[in-house]
Amino acid sequence: MMPVDEAGVVAAIQAATTPLRILGAGSKLPMLRPVQAPASLSTAGLTGITFYSPKELVLSARAGTKLADIVAATAAEGQHLIAEPPDWRRLLGTDSAGTLGGAVATNLSGPRRIAWGAMRDHVLGVRAINGSGEVIRSGGRVLKNVTGLDLCKLLSGSHGTLAVITEITLKVLPAPERRATLVFKGLAPNAAVAALSAALGSPYAVSAAAYLPAAEAARIPALAWLGDSVTLARLEDFAPSVTYRSDRLRADLAAFGAAEMLDDAASLSAWADIGDVLPLAGQGEALWRVSVRPSQGPTVLAAVQAALPTQAFLDWGGGLVWIAGPASPAAHNAVAAAARDAGGVWTLMRAPDTLREAVAVVPPEPPALARIGRHVKAAFDPRGVLNPGRIVAGV
């Protein structure tokens, strides 16, 4: 089903007697667990930007609006989506870059997340339909709002299991006038993360920080010429600031080597590819994301490399580890163990259905929290019709 208005979503949910698979354009379906449902409900028919006030930094759009359309609309006003939501067509083998609703429902953010927050941090308001077919609004169209429980955040990243988001209001910001990227060549992971930590701990507002081993860097056109592992720190601001800060940062980080510089165009291209996880597109049968404290990134990298044949790299200053490897329970357990041992969490991002159905795609919660989670699910969707089993089997 692909209703063209909110009333259609309400009707579809109210009429459902069996589970519904909830999706936008379906661009994130390879993530997490497959949903066994006789019918699908897509929000892709709910399209259009309904409100955009650049001077107030606020944009509203229906959930099915293509992310690309929103990116284009903000770019026309010299603004951008703060969390840099990625385009994972090549990574996940889907044919759409996705919808705004999908980007929010999965709370997936790009490289800027380390400095400027996740998708969920910029969701000012939502309209959503719960599992009983009721319209639920939370937040609004203002930048500061603490009225009632924050369902904007709860629904962001809930993968359509609590309610079907029909309209979203976002905070947007002016796009930077200029970008530049410092590149340190040939660092080992520990030194790389130390450099990124120093960069992120500098007063120069570094807006992205990543480390790619040589093989992974070679798959990014803007980085391949460097011919080695790369440690990258991005600056974005007014042009004079970027020039000034680049010079200062190069001097402050001289202990890590002489930094090469990527200019505005190369920075745009390189960071888009990093956010899109291009180095791991087409690599391995399974793909994981591990989130840890940044200094533990190299430990996770070493642990999975020792256990499996992998391709992997670090974003978010070392705190986000992307891993491609074989699709086996043993490989999954090795990734999960590496994440757990480093005090972090994992998400299975892509794998054959047999593996996705067999393993915990995210870490199991302690029993008391899992119980609260089941009660919260029931509080939204008492009949269990919305995307059951998407994150956790049976919920």
Instruction: Kindly identify the residues of this chain, within the stretch 113-172, that bind other proteins according to CB under 8 A.
Output: 113-114, 117-118, 120-121, 130, 134-154, 156-158, 162
Amino acid (1-letter code) at residue 214? A
Distance CA 34, CA 30 (A): 8
Count other Cβ atoms within 10 Å, centred on residue 111: 25
Q: Which of residues 7-46 bind other proteins (CB under 8 A)?
A: none
Q: What are phi and psi of 16, to 5 degrees?
A: -65, 130
C-beta of residue 45 within 8 angstroms of C-beta of residue 63:
no
The encoded tokens of residue 374 equal 């089941």
Question: Is residue 379 a contact point for other proteins (CB under 8 A)?
Answer: yes
Integer Cα distance of 242 and 233 in angstroms? 12
- Contact flag: residue 391 with other proteins (CB under 8 A): yes
Q: Considering only residues 244, 269, 357, 383, which one is a binding residue for other proteins as defined by CB under 8 A?
A: 244
Count of residues touching other proteins (by CB under 8 A): 84
Q: Is 55 in the site for other proteins (CB under 8 A)?
A: yes
Stretch 196-235: interaction string toward other proteins, x if CB under 8 A: -x--xxxx-x------------------------------
Residue 363 touches other proteins, criterion: CB under 8 A: yes
Q: Around 333, how many Cα atoms within 13 Å sit in the side-chain half-sphere?
A: 4
Among 72, 75, 76, 173, binds other proteins (CB under 8 A): 173
Instruction: Fill in the DSSP letter of residue 107.
Output: T
Contact partners, residue 299, CB within 8 Å, separation at least 6: 292, 338, 341, 342
State the minimum distance, in angstroms, from the CB of residue 287 to other proteins.
Answer: 14
Among the residue ranges 112-120, 256-264, 268-276, 350-358, the one whose residues contact other proteins (CB under 8 A): 112-120
State CA 118 to chain mean position distance.
7
Tell the smallest beta-carbon distance from residue 99 to other proteins (Å).
Answer: 20
> Which window, 36-44, 109-117, 183-191, 226-234, contacts other proteins (CB under 8 A)?
109-117
Contact (CB, 8 A) for 235 and 145: no
Asked if 49 interacts with other proteins (CB under 8 A), we say: no
Helix (H), strand (E) at residue 216: helix 214-217
Q: How far is the CB of 337 from other proteins (least distance, A)?
A: 15
Q: Minimum Å distance from CB 28 to other proteins? A: 14
Work out how close the CB of 135 gets to other proteins at its nearest, in angstroms, rounded to a whole number.
7
What does the alpha-carbon distance between residue 243 and residue 325 come to, in Å, rounded to a whole number? 40
Nearer to other proteins, 208 or 292 (CB): 292
The reply on whether position 48 binds other proteins by CB under 8 A is: no
Q: Look at strands 230-237 and 20-23 and give their pairing.
A: unpaired
Of 316, 332, 350, 387, the one binding other proteins (CB under 8 A) is: 316
Among the listed residues 268, 272, 302, 345, the single contact to other proteins using CB under 8 A: 345
The gap from C-alpha 117 to its chain's centroid, in whole angstroms, comes to: 11
Minimum distance, C-beta of residue 154 to other proteins, in the bound complex (Å): 5
In the complex, least distance from residue 225 CB atom to other proteins, rounded to whole angstroms: 31
Query: Which residue, 55 or 95, has its beta carbon nearer to other proteins?
Result: 55
- By rule CB under 8 A, what string of x and - marks binding of each residue 64-103 to other proteins? --------------x-------------------------
Judged by CB under 8 A, does residue 241 bind other proteins? yes
Residue 281 makes CB contacts below 8 A (sequence gap 6+) with 90, 91, 219
Helix (H), strand (E) counts: the chain: 15, 16
Q: Of 193-201, 250-258, 259-267, 303-311, which segment contacts other proteins by CB under 8 A?
A: 193-201
Nearer to other proteins, 221 or 364 (CB): 364
Q: Which of 241, 294, 240, 236 is nearest to 262 (CA)?
A: 236
What three-state secondary structure class fits 122?
A: helix
Of 229, 271, 263, 270, the closest CA to residue 246 belongs to: 263
**Residue ranges in 260-299 that form contacts with other proteins under rule CB under 8 A:** 291-295
Question: What angle, 0 to 180 degrees and rounded to 10, lies between the N-to-C axes of helices 297-307 and 329-341?
Answer: 150
